[in-house]
Amino acid sequence: MSEKPSNIVLIGMPGSGKSTVGVILAKKTSRAFVDTDVLIQTSRQQTLQEIVDTQGCAALRAIEEELLLGLSVQNHVIATGGSAVYSDRAMAHLQSDGIIVFLDADLPTLEARVGDASARGRISI
């Protein structure tokens, strides 16, 4: 890579803080912010949990991979879904113009943040 990567790509487990840190980091670095979970939900008009419930985890991973491979942005902070790392192709694509940052959190912290994992992605109104 001859040029400096323009994107900052956040990866990590669900509940590690990718979306929260991403918004703050985007403001601090004068970059735009994109949350790929939100892109999936708006493009499919379903929550992530609804996709898992109706199509399965493998389908969500395939949808996420397709979205990541089609993502073409510069000067962004990108918060990926928790399973982005399962796709070597998607990770290579993200790394082609991005610095990959792994947000690490211990299991008790993740459990406290996620709460009921079976309802992850659902919105209560």
pLDDT digits (tens, 9 = 90+) for 30-83: 999 999 999 999 999 999 999 999 999 999 999 999 999 999 999 999 999 988
pLDDT above 90 (res 125)? no
Domain residue ranges in the chain: 9-110
The pLDDT assigned to 115 comes to 80
Query: Which secondary-structure segment (H or E) carries 101?
Result: strand 98-102
Tell me the three state secondary structure of residue 113: helix
pLDDT single digits (tens) 111-121: 898 886 665 54
- Within the chain, what is the greatest distance between any pair of CA atoms? 49
What topology does CATH give the domain 9-110?
Rossmann fold (3.40.50)
- Short-list 96, 70, 104, 110, CA closest to 9: 96
What are φ and ψ of residue 100, in 5° steps? -90, 125
Letter for the amino acid at 4? K
In terms of pTM, does the model score above 0.85? Answer: yes
The pLDDT assigned to 28 comes to 98
